[in-house]
Structure formats: structure tokens, C-alpha cells
Amino acid sequence: MKLLRVLVTSLCIIVLASFMRKAEANTPPLPDGLALQPFVEGLELPVFMTPVPGDTEKLYVVEKVGRVRLVQAGVLQEQSVLDIENLVSTGNEQGLLGLALHPDYANNGYIFVYYTDGAGETQVVRYQVSSDVADPNSAKTILSVDQPHNNHNGGMIAFGPDGYLYIGLGDGGSADDPKNRAQNMTLHLGKILRIDVDNGDPYAVPGDNPFVGQADVLPEIWTYGWRNPWRFSFDRETGDMWVADVGQNEYEEVSLQLAGQGGGNYGWRCKEGSQDFDRSQGCEGELIDPVLEYDHSQGVSITGGYRYRGSALSELQGMYVYGDFASGKIWFAAEQDGTWGASEWQDTDLAISSFAEDANGELYVLDYRGMIYQLTNE
């Protein structure tokens, strides 16, 4: 019996040590000497910011109320780039939520906005800008999507390294995805779409989209099984796509999609994060687990960020930076031995609506209450 107890104790020590080594590997060391410095104030419900191609001093900021504002050389300009307040519903999770500038913006002036209209439906619309002012008569509707509820409206649009426009849509709202829309391949809801806005009218579907030619599947779908992919980004070095999906009752998650690898099912509502949620319908095949997740003791509404590729913060190089809208926490994540792990950097009092990347790859944090901060050296 004594020998048995010794063996059991030894085994427990080995298992515990292995677990501790794994835990340590999953908590990367934090860079020293970083701080959040005020960058711009005076905004109304800022939810996104993006650099202006061809001009390193300019950034466009999205205000949820229906405006796009210009920040030039760190100064918020009075005149709006675009004002569509009269077209936008702003209740609950609705509003002007996303903005993408065409890769050839310097020549064609095209911007694409994602907003909720007066009827509560999602609209992706193109405008043409000249001298930082959009022509309201240039509006061209690219995509309209019916929304059954006023939450889980998604809101992220971005051009990928391939020049195509990616559009993130939530599952249609309510709670628990009651109609299982995220797994329904005849609907745009709960999907990330990939479209070609340079061809077709109003767009074309790229021929290498994963579901082209399949019956009863919308060809625009790039990936599916999303609850509310509020913010995603592309790694400017590798082209990989990082998607933060807002959770339901217990888990927030970040998924990594390697460059060019569409077609995946990211699990909702079959799973929430890496845990089973409701497998009663449409859960066949591989479900892709997130590379990062946290439970609701840490936060309840994830805000995706960027993998740092700037030059000013050398210790942060290659780390993925993200946060939580409700708790204000910010994490830095890194890969070690093929596994991603995160360490909490700051527990702020910010309502983190978005992160942003400027033309040089430096990072910013948007506070929904009206401020933007830059991540800098102390």
C-alpha cells in the first residue's frame, strides 16, 4: 500500500508539473515599458479607425451615430468625411459599424461602409470621396441583409491581401441562435463573406471561394459558424486572418485562419469557444476551435485587435493584441511550440470598442466614450 501511495503521489506530481509547464508556456512574458497615451478626444461613440492609403498622416474614424471623421496629424478635423446620420439606426448594437477603404483609394476614392438602416437591415454601401469629403450622390448599395433582431449585427468589413472585400455578419441576434442561422448555408447570417467589388454588378464572387458551385450554399460564404465576429484583422506580414467572436454565456474566443484557407466551420451554435453548446442540429464535420479563449470571469464581450507589425515597440513584435469591451482588459498573445497563449497586460477602465492599426503598423485603442489612445513606449 505504501508503494502504491508513493507511485500515485509521484504520478500526480508529474501530471501537475506537466500542467504547470503548459500553463507557463501559455502565458507569454509581457513587454516592459509600454503605455497608453491619449491620441484624440472629442469623438461621439467611436467604433473603428483605419489609415488612409497614400497619406501616413491621415486616419478615418467611424462614429456609431453615422459619421466618418478625419484625424490628420493627430488632430480631429471639424468637417466629417461622411455624414449619414439620417440613414442610420443606432439602437442596441445597430449603427454605422464598419469602414473599409479600397486598396486603390488613392486613385478611385472608394470607401465602403457597413451600417444598419432605418428598417433595421444591414447595408454595405460604396461612396466616392474627394478631398476627404464623400459625395452623397455617389452611394451604391453593394449588399443588403435582413436582420431579424437588433443585436449581433456584426459590423466588420476589410479588404484582404488578395484585394477582395471580407464582410463579417452576426447570427441575426436574440440569444442562443434560436433558428441556427450560423449553420444555415442559405443565409448570410453568422458568416464571413468574401466578394469581388471590382467586377460584377454590384459585385462578383471570386472563383476560388470554397463553396462556389455547391447546391444550396451561398457562394459568397468564406467561413461560417460565427456568433458575432465584431472585429477581425489581417496580419500584414503573413496574410493570416484573426477573428474575435463575441460569446454567449460563458466564453469569448479568437480564431486564427491561415492565409487563403476558407471554408471552415468555426462552431457556433454547436460550440461556444472550445466547449459544446447545442449539438442538436447541423454539427456534422470538423468544427474549428479557437486558438485563444477566456471565460466570463475575465470579460463578456471580446474586441479583436491586431498582430503587431510596427517598428516602434520591438518587444511587442509579432504579438496579437486584443481586449474586452465590458471589462476593459487588454491581453498580449504569442505563440510558443505551436500553441497560442495570452497574458493580461492592463485592466483598464476603457470601453474598448475597437483596436486600430496605422499605416506604419502602430496600434491604437478606441474608447467608446470618445477617446482614442496610442500604444507607445513610456
The CATH number covering residue 247 comes to: 2.120.10.30
Considering the chain, what percentage of its residues have pLDDT values greater than 90?
90
Give the Å distances, CA to CA, from 120 to 37, 62, 175, 193, 268.
Answer: 37, 19, 17, 20, 23
The pLDDT, as a whole number, for residue 269 is 97
Asked if pLDDT for residue 341 goes beyond 50, the answer is yes
Cell of 132: 476627404
The pLDDT, as a whole number, for residue 14 is 40
**Same domain flag for 26 and 171:** no
Task: Quote the CA–CA distance of 364 and 46 in Å, as a whole number.
Answer: 12
Can you tell me which residue has the cell 470618445?
370
If you average pLDDT over residues 210-216, what whole number do you get? 97
pLDDT tens for each residue of 356-374: 999 999 999 999 999 999 9
**Same domain flag for 156 and 268:** yes
Q: What's the chain's average pLDDT?
A: 93
Q: How many domains does the chain have?
A: 2
**Same domain flag for 15 and 147:** no
Give residue 9's pLDDT band: very low, low, confident or very high (50, 70, 90): very low
In which element (H, E) is residue 19 found? helix 2-25
Q: How far is CA 115 from the centre of its chain?
A: 16
Cell of 148: 431579424
Spell out the residues 6+ positions from residue 269 whose beta carbon is closer than 8 angstroms to its own: 171, 176, 177, 180, 182, 183, 227, 248, 277, 278
Asked if pLDDT for residue 56 goes beyond 60, the answer is yes
**Same domain flag for 176 and 325:** yes
If you average pLDDT over residues 326-343, what whole number do you get? 96
**Same domain flag for 161 and 12:** no
Give the Å distances, CA to CA, from 196 to 143, 209, 264.
Answer: 12, 11, 20
If you average pLDDT over residues 208-222, what whole number do you get? 98
Asked if pLDDT for residue 262 goes beyond 60, the answer is yes
- Cis omega (within 30 of 0) on the bond before 46? no
Q: Any bridge partners for residue 62, and if so which?
A: 48, 68
The pLDDT, as a whole number, for residue 16 is 38
**Same domain flag for 8 and 68:** no
**Same domain flag for 277 and 218:** yes
Considering the chain, what percentage of its residues have pLDDT values greater than 70?
93
The pLDDT, as a whole number, for residue 155 is 96
The pLDDT, as a whole number, for residue 259 is 96
The pLDDT, as a whole number, for residue 18 is 40
The pLDDT, as a whole number, for residue 215 is 97
- Report the range of poorest mean pLDDT among 66-70, 278-282, 340-344: 278-282
Give residue 284's pLDDT band: very low, low, confident or very high (50, 70, 90): confident
- Domain encompassing residue 2: 1-30
Give residue 86's pLDDT band: very low, low, confident or very high (50, 70, 90): very high
**Same domain flag for 81 and 55:** yes
**Same domain flag for 19 and 164:** no
**Same domain flag for 15 and 85:** no
**Same domain flag for 137 and 94:** yes
Burial bucket for residue 39 (CB in 10 Å: 0-12, 13-18, 19+)? buried
The pLDDT, as a whole number, for residue 263 is 97
pLDDT tens for each residue of 107-151: 999 999 999 999 999 999 999 999 999 999 999 999 999 999 999
- Report the range of poorest mean pLDDT among 24-28, 42-46, 214-218, 331-335: 24-28
**Same domain flag for 39 and 146:** yes
Task: Quote the CA–CA distance of 370 and 298 in Å, as a whole number.
Answer: 24
The pLDDT, as a whole number, for residue 281 is 87
244 SS3 class: strand
